[in-house]
Amino acid sequence: MQLDMKKLEPLLGTMVNELGAAANAALVLIGDKLGLYKRLAEFGPISVGGLAEVTGTQQRYVQEWLAAQAASGFVHYDAATDRYSMSPEQAAVLADEDSSVNMAGGFHSLAAIFAGEPRLSEAFKSGTGVGWGDHCNCLFCGTERFFRPGYKAHLIGEWLPALDGVVDKLDRGAVVADVGCGHGASTVIMAEAFPRSSFIGVDFHGPSIDQARTKSRSLGNIAFMVAKAQDFSDDGFDLVTVFDALHDMGDPVGAAANIRRRLKPDGTLMLIEPMAGNSLAENLNPVGRIYYAFSTSICVPASLNQEVGMALGAQAGEARLRNVLQEAGFSRIRRAAETPFNMIIEARS
């Protein structure tokens, strides 16, 4: 077999970058867990020994970790002073928990993907699903931390105002259900912003609801329940939200139909889903690449593990989501807002 070097060399270069990124993923996780990024952003420029001292870690490990981070472009190394620091941009992405562009949470989810690889490999052969609750706990924490910065940046100031009349209702006092709420990050953000409204978070994963209750103890206008999206039974909602969860459900049509039944006649469904075009060709980009990878490992197996097992996937696209909503009985559907990572769909009966 004759290889074309003009094609081979760029591919090998890509694979070198991929291998380096994969190898460093665990180090990003360690840096986040041990506070290495936070202390570097706080105290930098700092020496290897200085960073080890303020983080309570061992200098030789920190030396090699810093070298890997500098080679990755995640931290800055000054050869003249032999010290390390982080630019404001590097700190925003890796060190600042409140930053709208913090990406550290995604690396916690990666740990769950690698831990679950043997089970996923078997599912590839058998066609069975892998349940959300079958993954290690780092998936649930990582999912919350990955999505929370975007919710904090856009939900109150952009997404809710893009819906017809919803903010006025929330200001006056609305009843809201957040379906598929996980650890409740989105529910808490809304409850804090609209104290006159009442919020209930709904999720089928009991341990996540336990975490949500713990994190929301200081709020009097919020509650949580363990229930499936297609059969929770409370009524009279002005607004129901579903954040990055419908595509994970085995029966998204059944879930959407139940939501429609639970809404008031003039109520609104706000559906937040990963940004995607309607064809594979439209999604062959860096954002689509991330979502397809997580969808293969997490979203599709989770759906296949449930009844119906529709397996929409994280890149379902607006057209397919519209079909789901229409089949569930919604007739007025529009894309209300978008970001590079999400599209926000408003649906009414």
Share of the chain above pLDDT 70, in %: 100
Question: What is the reported pLDDT for 137?
Answer: 78
Q: Is the pLDDT of residue 88 over 90?
A: yes
**pLDDT tens across 244-300, in order?**
999 999 999 999 999 999 999 999 999 999 999 999 999 999 999 999 999 999 999
Q: Which domains does the chain show, CATH number per domain?
A: 5-96 (1.10.10.10), 106-348 (3.40.50.150)
Q: What is the 3-state secondary structure (H, E, C) of the chain?
A: CCCCHHHHHHHHHHHHHHHHHHHHHHHHHHHHHCCHHHHHHHHCCECHHHHHHHHCCCHHHHHHHHHHHHHHCCCEEECCCCEEECCHHHHHHHCCCCCCCCCHHHHHHHHHHHHCHHHHHHHHHHCCCCCHHHCCCHHHHHHHHHHHHHHHHHHHHHHHHHCCCHHHHHHHCCEEEEECCCCCHHHHHHHHHCCCCEEEEEECCHHHHHHHHHHCCCCCCEEEEECCCCCCCCCCEEEEEEECCHHHCCCHHHHHHHHHHHEEEEEEEEEEEECCCCCCHHHCCHHHHHHHHHHHHHHHHHHHCCCCCCCCCCCCCHHHHHHHHHHCCCCEEEEEEECCCEEEEEEEC
Higher-pLDDT residue of 166 and 309 is: 166
Least confident of 43-52, 147-156, 327-336: 147-156
**pLDDT tens across 288-319, in order?**
999 999 999 999 999 999 999 999 999 999 99
